[in-house]
Amino acid sequence: MGIIRSSFTFMLGTVCGIYVAQNYNVPNVNKLTNTGLLIAKHIEENYRKPKRRGDDED
């Protein structure tokens, strides 16, 4: 009984997700994530402390 109940819940969630994605303006989460990471990388590069001469550990 457990596998039927969990698969029913999964299928119901999938159908509801498809309906919402087709009928409403849902933002692209992947694009938002990539934009956020790009902004974070830019901020880190601009505000990082400069390396000292003796800290060459590459």
9-54 pLDDT tens trace:
899 999 999 999 999 998 888 999 999 999 999 999 888 877 777 6
Distance of alpha carbon 21 from alpha carbon 57, whole angstroms: 49
Residues in Cβ contact with 20 at an 8 Å cutoff, skipping those fewer than 6 apart: 26
Count each helix (H run) and each strand (E run) in the chain, helices first.
2, 0
pLDDT of residue 55: 60
- Would you place residue 58 in the very low, low, confident or very high pLDDT band (cuts 50, 70, 90)? low
- Identify the residue with better confidence: 58 or 23: 23
pLDDT of residue 2: 75
Distance of alpha carbon 12 from alpha carbon 19, whole angstroms: 11
pLDDT of residue 37: 95
